[in-house]
Structure formats: structure tokens, C-alpha cells
């Protein structure tokens, strides 16, 4: 069922630095991101009608256990604001953005805030990994040792067997994203690497090595969306928002994500565009093979062509479609609840022409994509947004 929706614009974005931040907490990071977004929007906090927080660990790593969103907004005089915590694994931030978008599009709110925050490095790594295992089926999978690197390692091997993808092509994803991250002042990793570096790194889940995997990270990001009458000249519009879930069934040849293809189909239809119209995309590169699959599933190249596509330079800044100009999860970082908001933040900076050294020239259409959880051989949640200058 569809109904008439109001035009929605992004008036402000804010993002903390990503990476290990021992002096911060979930709450302090969230407060900083919201402050930066309000300043960017030049908006009185009292104008905000409702807020959604993307957060996954929920205090399980020693942070704020309850009411994180409400507490983070208290310094802005928003103690009575309706605040909802969103949890959709890695897609939490994107679902928070979608919730804020729908509130404004429906007329329920004129100004809505989506923000995400995660402090993941506070606890020992083994504890963090245990919490992250909750994004899979703890009863049927994690208890038997199924891990995300292991699953994506199997996917990579299958993609290599079916499509001839090479380790060097996977490494090209990391090389590109680390180069982009070196241009991003808030990125977790700011040093370029070579194909040789990636291939020589310690193996984690063959054929994936340490540099094929995103790292544990701290950080927060915020997005303020408004009705059209409150938008300023140059504020990008959200022209599509789609969310899908899987039926928890193995996806065919293990070389693609059906729910990404369906979310992309819905988003392109809403926006009235095709994949060919997209100038830049922030996609969920939790592992190098994931970005290869996403470029195929989003329609930027044909099935099985993702490896040669990245190796050719087509996904670099200045290529056919700039994929992860921020550096993506692999270089910018992946504080889970913040990732979707950070992707939208990068899209907004690019469309406003404010991305600095990583600016995609002439960017008019941007896409963001996140996957959340991984259950019974399939990703469990996907969100895709399209923004236009």
C-alpha cells in the first residue's frame, strides 16, 4: 500500500571521529554527533519533533544500559521528546534514518532526528565478539561456531569458484577504500595500503585476511531531516527509502543477496531512476567480498562482474560510480549503530560539494545501503536510501 508523501530534505549532518576512543562513552559520542548536526543545520533544538537512535550493543559492553537516546538529548533541552531506540543489527542506523524520514514524509513531524552511536572498544575483544554474535541466530548458528568472517569467507570462496573472482580483486576493494579513508578526516584508518599488503596480511577466514575485514570501532553520527518548507537551498532530498527482510532461506549459489536486489528495485522505482544514474554509493563493505557482491546486487555491474569492476577502477572516485568514497566500513570504520547515519552523512556532504579531498565531481544522485544480521545463510535486514541534490 502506498500513500502520498511529503518531500523530505536533509538539513543537517554530524559525525564524530571513528576509531578507538577510550575517553568517550556511547552517550558522549551521541551528544557530540547531535551537537554537530544541529550546528550544521543552524536549527533550534526545540524544533525537533521526534528522534530515533540506532544502537546495537545497548550497554552490554559496559556502557549506558537504558534510555541512551533520551539521556543524550537532555543537554539540548529535549528531555520530553519522543525517542525510540532502533535495533536492526548493522542496519540500525539506516532504519533510524528511514523512521525519521517516514515521520516527516507522512506529516507526523516537520523535523526529525536520526542518530546512531556505539562504543565497541571498551570491553575485551572476546566480549565484543560475543555480543556481535547476537546478530546471528545464537541458538542455531553461533553456538556451533558460525562467525561472520567464516560465513563471508565461504561466500568469497564460492564467488571465486563460480565467477573466477581473484584474491587480487578482493584486495583492490581494500586498497581503494583505504585510499579514500586517507582523505577522510574522521576515518578510523588513514594510511593507504597496497594489494601486496592485503594479500600478505594474516588470514582470518580463507581467503579473507585481516585487511579484508572491517574493525571494531567507536563513533556516532546524526542526521536531521525536515519537511520541504523548512529546507534551505542546496539541502539534498531523500527521494527513496526502502527496507527489506529475508525469509531466512539460503540464497541460491551464495553469491548474492536477494533482499539487497529487492530493496534496490524498490528504491530505484520510488526515485524514478536506474542504477546507471547513481554517481556515488556508500555500501556495506563489512568484508571486501561484501562490496563486490553489493556492486552486482545494486546493479552497478553484471552478476559475477564485481571483481573485475573494482579492479578496473570503475568504483574509484572519478570512475563509473564512486563506491564508498568515505572509505566505507573497512576504512572509515563500523561502530554498528552509527554506520547507516554516517553513510547518509557522507552522501549529504558529497551532494552539497562539501566532501573536500574525496569529493565526487558533479555528484547529483547518491545511494546508501546497509545489511543487518546474518541468519540461516541469509542477511536478515537491508535498507537502501537514494538522495538527490
pLDDT value of residue 77:
95
Report the pLDDT value the prediction gives residue 144, as an integer from 0 to 100. Answer: 45
Angstrom CA distances, 77 to 28, 80, 184, stand at 16, 8, 32
- Region 317-337: what's the mean pLDDT? 97
- The least confident of 2-11, 20-29, 137-146, 347-356 is 137-146
Q: What's the pLDDT at 5?
A: 86
pLDDT over 90 (residue 57): no
Return the higher-pLDDT residue of 250 and 13.
13
Identical topology for domains 8-125+218-235 and 132-212+239-388: yes
**CA atoms of 61 and 99, how far apart (whole Å):** 26
On the question of pLDDT at 2 being above 70, the answer is no
Residue 46 has pLDDT above 70, yes or no: yes
Q: What is the pLDDT of residue 353?
A: 98
Are 285 and 339 spatial neighbours (Cβ–Cβ below 8 Å)? no
Average pLDDT value for residue range 108-117: 98
Strands 280-282 and 322-323: parallel
Cβ neighbours around 377 below 10 Å, total = 17
- pLDDT above 80: residue 356: yes
Q: Is 213 a catalytic residue?
A: no
Q: Of 159, 163, 334, 369, which one is the catalytic site residue?
A: 334
Give the span between the Cα atoms of 90 and 88, in whole angstroms: 6
Mean pLDDT of 60-74: 77
Counting Cα atoms < 13 Å in the Cβ hemisphere of 188 gives 23
Q: Under a CB-based contact definition with an 8 Å cutoff, are residues 123 and 61 in contact? A: yes
pLDDT at site 343: 98
Q: What is the pLDDT of residue 172?
A: 98
Which range has the worst mean pLDDT, 59-68, 158-167, 198-207? Answer: 59-68
CATH number 3.40.47.10 given to 132-212+239-388: yes
Rounded Cα–Cα distance for residues 292 and 328 (Å): 13
pLDDT exceeds 70 at position 373: no
Average pLDDT of the segment spanning 263-275: 98
pLDDT in tens, 287-305: 999 999 999 999 999 999 9
Dihedral over alpha carbons 66, 72, 78, 84 (to 10 degrees): -50
CA distances to 235, 331, 363 from 7, rounded to whole Å, are: 12, 33, 20
User: Is 90 considered catalytic here?
Assistant: yes
Q: Which of 293, 91, 129, 295 is nearest to 215 (CA)?
A: 129
Chain segment 237-248, per-residue pLDDT in tens: 999 999 998 754
Compute φ and ψ for 152, nearest 5 degrees.
-70, -25
What pLDDT, on the 0 to 100 scale, is given for residue 147?
75
Does position 376 have pLDDT exceeding 50, yes or no? no
Cell numbers found for residue 313: 577502477
Domain 8-125+218-235 maps to which CATH number in 3.10.150.10, 3.40.250.10, 3.40.47.10, 3.40.1350.10?
A: 3.40.47.10
CB atoms within 10 A of CB 246: 23
Give the per-residue pLDDT at 122: 79
* Residue of 90, 213, 286, 301 marked active site: 90
Hey, where are the domains in the chain?
8-125+218-235, 132-212+239-388
Amino acid at each position: 500500500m502506498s500513500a502520498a508523501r511529503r518531500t523530505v530534505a536533509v538539513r543537517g549532518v554530524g559525525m564524530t571521529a571513528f576509531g578507538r576512543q577510550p575517553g568517550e562513552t556511547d552517550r558522549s559520542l551521541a551528544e557530540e554527533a547531535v551537537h554537530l548536526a544541529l550546528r550544521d543545520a543552524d536549527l533550534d533544538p526545540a524544533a525537533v519533533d521526534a528522534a530515533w537512535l540506532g544502537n546495537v550493543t545497548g550497554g552490554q559492553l559496559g556502557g549506558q544500559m537504558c534510555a541512551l537516546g533520551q539521556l543524550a538529548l537532555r543537554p539540548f533541552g529535549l528531555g520530553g521528546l519522543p525517542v525510540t531506540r532502533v535495533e536492526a543489527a548493522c542496519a540500525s542506523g539506516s532504519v533510524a534514518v528511514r523512521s525519521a524520514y517516514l515521520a516527516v514524509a507522512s506529516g507526523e513531524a516537520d523535523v526529525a532526528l536520526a542518530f546512531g552511536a556505539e562504543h565497541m572498544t571498551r570491553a575485551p575483544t572476546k566480549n565484543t565478539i560475543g555480543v556481535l554474535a547476537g546478530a546471528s541466530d545464537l541458538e542455531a548458528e553461533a553456538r556451533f561456531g558460525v562467525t561472520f568472517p567464516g560465513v563471508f569467507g565461504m561466500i568469497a570462496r564460492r564467488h571465486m569458484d563460480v565467477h573466477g573472482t581473484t584474491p587480487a580483486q578482493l584486495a583492490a576493494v581494500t586498497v581503494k577504500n583505504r585510499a579514500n579513508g586517507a582523505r577522510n578526516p574522521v576515518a578510523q584508518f588513514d594510511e593507504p595500503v597496497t594489494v601486496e599488503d592485503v594479500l600478505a596480511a594474516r588470514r582470518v577466514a580463507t581467503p579473507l585476511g585481516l585487511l579484508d575485514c572491517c574493525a571494531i570501532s567507536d563513533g556516532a553520527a546524526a542526521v536531521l531531516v525536515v519537511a520541504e518548507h523548512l529546507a534551505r537551498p542546496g539541502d539534498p532530498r531523500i527521494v527513496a527509502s526502502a527496507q527489506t527482510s529475508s525469509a531466512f532461506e539460503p540464497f541460491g549459489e551464495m553469491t548474492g543477496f536477494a533482499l539487497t536486489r529487492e530493496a534496490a528495485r524498490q528504491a530505484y522505482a520510488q526515485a524514478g531512476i536506474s542504477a546507471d544514474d547513481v554517481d556515488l554509493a556508500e555500501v556495506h563493505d563489512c568484508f571486501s567480498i561484501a562490496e563486490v557482491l553489493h556492486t552486482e546486487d545494486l546493479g552497478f555491474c553484471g552478476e559475477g562482474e564485481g571483481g573485475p569492476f573494482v579492479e578496473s577502477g570503475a568504483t574509484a572516485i572519478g570512475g563509473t560510480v564512486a563506491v564508498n568514497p568515505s572509505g566505507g566500513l573497512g576504512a572509515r570504520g563500523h561502530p554498528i549503530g552509527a554506520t547507516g547515519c554516517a553513510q547518509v552523512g557522507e552522501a549529504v556532504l558529497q551532494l552539497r560539494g562539501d566532501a573536500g579531498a574525496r569529493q565526487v565531481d558533479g555528484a547529483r544522485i547518491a545511494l546508501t545501503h546497509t545489511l543487518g544480521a546474518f541468519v540461516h545463510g541469509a542477511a536478515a535486514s537491508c535498507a537502501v536510501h537514494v538522495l538527490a541534490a
